[in-house]
Amino acid sequence: MIFIGSGRLFLLLPLLLFFLAPLFFYSPLAALVLIGIVVFVGASAGRRRRTHLEPAAGFPPLTRPDPRMFENVRRAAEEDVLGLADEIRSLDLDIEMPGVVSEARSDYMHAVDQYDRAKAALDSARTPHDLAAVSSAVEEGRFAITSTRARLAGKQLPQRRPPCFFDPRHGPSVRDVAWAPPGGTPRPVPVCAADAVSLEDGNEPHGRRVRVGDREVPYWNAPAYYGPWAGGYFSPFSVLLPGLLLGSTLAGGIYAMDAYGDVADPGDGSPGDSADNASGYW
């Protein structure tokens, strides 16, 4: 308990001498030997601790993650918040019309509350991890908007399902469809009605793309630091998506991140890039 570094150890020597005073009376040599052992062990522990904390010789010092990583993810989250605000504004006049059922107003106000929650989370976010709260609130707000529209039109309420995999901005999915990226293994993914029709017609839906470096990629192939933001959309439905996106942003990232948050995969088309590894994860 006193082996906490040589500097602090010497501060405890007076206390140590107090307890060893009787031993000095009977055997001064034994007391000195015991003190020497304690000092030696404490100093060794301090050196080991410093060695563990300091970079090893020949290795570069630790660097902080590139701040552009966070800025790129934050930009995607900000687009989502602005998109939710536009959807809310599109209902402003409809919700004020006479005869609107109270349930529609309630859903509309819930969407407004989720917008406020998403905006507050975006303003306070400092790391990519913080942005999960933004996408989670946007997803719930978007579902509330879909419910509001259904009530205003007198239609059946939407089922509470995960958002569309290809672009969560499409709103809640209506069913699962088997899909795979080029060269991959098909997996069931939740899709909206429009994308389901597109897939049945043999077309590839236009997926949500995000910025990585100087290019844009589908968000499911983005680096792992996009994971919290993307995962926020699907986190309430994790039990419904077993194995979905194994190896992608939602399950750890096709791009590996080292212990300090740096991207190990450059994402530039070089060997090891997600384009080369996609088939290995699907």
pLDDT tens track for 32-72: 656 666 556 555 555 555 444 444 444 444 445 567 789 99
Report the pLDDT value the prediction gives residue 274, as an integer from 0 to 100.
38
Contact 95, 108 (CB under 8 A): yes
How far apart, in whole angstroms, are the C-alpha atoms of residue 153 and residue 223?
41
Tell me what pLDDT residue 130 has: 95
Residue 4: HSE in the Cβ half-sphere, 13 Å Cα cutoff: 8
Contact 3, 16 (CB under 8 A): no
Amino acid sitting at position 65: P
Sign of CA dihedral 226, 228, 233, 237: positive
19 neighbors 61 (Cβ within 8 angstroms): no
pLDDT of residue 213: 86
pLDDT (0 to 100) of residue 205: 85
How far is the C-alpha of 16 from the C-alpha of 24, rounded, in Å? 12
Query: Contact, 270 vs 279, CB < 8 A?
Result: no
How buried is 13 (Cβ within 10 angstroms: 0-12 exposed, 13-18 middle, 19+ buried)?
middle
Evaluate if pTM is beyond 0.85.
no
Integer CA distances (angstroms), 153 to 101, 139, 140, 149, 209, in order:
11, 21, 20, 6, 32
Regions of the chain with pLDDT less than 70 = 1-66, 238-282
Helices (H), the chain: 6-11, 13-26, 28-53, 67-89, 92-95, 102-124, 132-153, 193-200, 227-234, 274-281
CA distance 274 to 7: 49
Task: Please give the single-letter amino acid code of residue 226.
Answer: Y
CA–CA separation, 235 vs 257, rounded Å? 21
> What local confidence, expressed as pLDDT, does residue 182 receive?
73
Longest dimension (CA), the chain: 99
What does the pLDDT read at residue 154? 94
Output the pLDDT for position 77: 97
Residue 85 has a pLDDT of 97
Contacts of residue 106, defined as CB under 8 A and 6 or more positions apart, other chains included, come to none
Q: Are 231 and 130 in contact (CB under 8 A)?
A: no
Q: Which two tokens stand for residue 77?
A: 């989250």
> pLDDT at position 221, please?
87
